[in-house]
């Protein structure tokens, strides 16, 4: 069971005030001098589904591990429902369910036993742990696999079990680090449905991902991280509008396939037709278009 921490149990009915997560001027520098996070600030409102998007190595996992109290920040602070994550880590853990990017299951234990054992580790009484295990087996569609050991489960089913462990104590906040990593398309969409269900029930979700579709489909707001810095954070539609990328036209030219972006599709069509081009494709832009524009812009060396 290496890689999964024992988390305290959340006692439902407790009045939680303020934002679910507040990150202020967060910087993390490792002993070798590597700066993984650079002056990051953002807020996750209670009930929100917020995604942090970025490539592997962008600093997403380091950011998450500071929120879940596994790492201490070099500078800045993290608060969860107003509680300081550095000075009161055990209190913070009571309100949080965590699904780490890399976590092992014990291949000698069945699905049911995993959920029962981790329920007890979360502080649930034995009978309640058993009841929650059975509820989650049903909720997550694991009935046919309840008595199978983890080594007989697919990657997608193992991710469902990990999600179940995060949900055991019915936490008001879930922090998920690359939850669909390694999943095939069918398993990924199945996981998305489970996350939507949790969100609809009122759970606040903070998710990291490098999957553009995942961020666009699931999240209320999306932040883009590169080289340890938060480049922007807003709704997908607002990001598109801010960067003038509501629509795009793709066409073939002597230079190859070209794409032109703009906020108005008719204006784009007129621009392309003025060049004598009659064959083109008009489409609404995606989060990936905004992401590529922002990250490439940052990679471009400044003049002089």
5: tokens are: 């921490």
pLDDT at 10 over 60: no
Name which residue leads in pLDDT, 108 or 43.
43
Beta bridge partners of 42: 23
Looking at the structure, do residues 58 and 79 belong to the same domain, yes or no? yes
Q: Has residue 222 been placed in a domain?
A: yes
Looking at the structure, do residues 157 and 228 belong to the same domain, yes or no? yes
- pTM, whole model, 2 decimals? 0.84
Nearest-angstrom CA–CA distance, 134 and 143:
9
pLDDT at 38 over 90: yes
pLDDT at 47 over 90: yes
Looking at the structure, do residues 157 and 283 belong to the same domain, yes or no? no
Closest CA relative to residue 164, chosen from 208, 127, 122: 122
Q: Helices 126-139 & 111-121, crossing angle to 10 degrees?
A: 130
Work out the pLDDT band at 291, boundaries 50, 70, 90. confident
pLDDT at 101 over 80: no
Among the three residues 234, 266, 285, which one is the final residue of a domain in this structure?
234
Q: Has residue 9 been placed in a domain?
A: no
Looking at the structure, do residues 56 and 205 belong to the same domain, yes or no? yes
Closest CA relative to residue 55, chosen from 300, 288, 248: 288
Q: What is the mean pLDDT of the chain?
A: 87
Looking at the structure, do residues 105 and 210 belong to the same domain, yes or no? yes
Q: Has residue 152 been placed in a domain?
A: yes
Looking at the structure, do residues 195 and 295 belong to the same domain, yes or no? no
- Mean pLDDT of the 188-216 span: 92
Q: How many domains does the chain have?
A: 2
What lies within 8 Å, CB to CB, of 220 at 6+ separation is 48, 49, 50, 235
pLDDT at 2 over 70: no
Looking at the structure, do residues 277 and 131 belong to the same domain, yes or no? no
Looking at the structure, do residues 157 and 259 belong to the same domain, yes or no? no
Nearest-angstrom CA–CA distance, 263 and 244:
5
Query: Which residues constitute the domain of residue 291?
Result: 239-299
Tell me, what's the pLDDT at 262?
85
Looking at the structure, do residues 28 and 139 belong to the same domain, yes or no? yes
Q: Has residue 260 been placed in a domain?
A: yes
Closest CA relative to residue 290, chosen from 57, 59, 53, 61: 53
Closest CA relative to residue 146, chosen from 154, 159, 157, 137: 137
């Amino acid at each position: 069971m290496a890689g999964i921490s024992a988390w305290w149990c959340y006692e439902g009915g407790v009045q939680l005030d303020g934002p679910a997560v507040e990150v202020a001027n967060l910087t993390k520098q490792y002993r070798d001098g590597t700066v993984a996070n650079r002056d990051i600030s953002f807020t996750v409102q209670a009930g929100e589904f917020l995604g942090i998007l970025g490539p592997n190595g962008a600093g997403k996992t380091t950011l998450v591990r500071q929120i879940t109290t596994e790492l201490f920040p070099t500078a800045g602070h993290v608060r969860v429902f107003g509680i300081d994550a550095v000075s009161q880590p055990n209190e913070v853990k009571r309100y949080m369910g965590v699904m780490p990017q890399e976590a092992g299951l014990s291949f000698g234990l069945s699905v049911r036993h995993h959920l029962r054992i981790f329920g007890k580790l979360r502080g649930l009484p034995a009978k309640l742990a058993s009841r929650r295990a059975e509820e989650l087996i049903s909720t997550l569609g694991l009935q046919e696999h309840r008595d199978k050991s983890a080594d007989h489960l697919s990657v997608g089913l193992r991710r469902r079990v990990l999600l179940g462990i995060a949900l055991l104590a019915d936490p008001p906040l879930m922090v998920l680090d690359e939850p669909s990593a390694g999943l095939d398309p069918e398993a990924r969409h199945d996981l998305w449905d489970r996350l939507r269900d949790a969100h609809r029930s009122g759970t606040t979700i903070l998710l990291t991902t490098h999957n553009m579709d995942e961020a666009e489909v699931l999240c209320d707001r999306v932040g883009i991280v590169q080289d340890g810095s938060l480049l922007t954070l807003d709704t997908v539609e607002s990001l598109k509008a801010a960067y003038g990328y509501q629509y795009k036209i793709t066409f073939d030219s002597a230079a190859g396939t070209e794409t032109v972006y703009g906020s108005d599709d008719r204006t784009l069509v007129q621009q392309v037709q003025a060049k004598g081009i009659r064959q083109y494709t008009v489409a609404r832009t995606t989060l990936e278009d905004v992401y590529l524009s922002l990250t490439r812009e940052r990679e471009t060396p400044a003049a002089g």
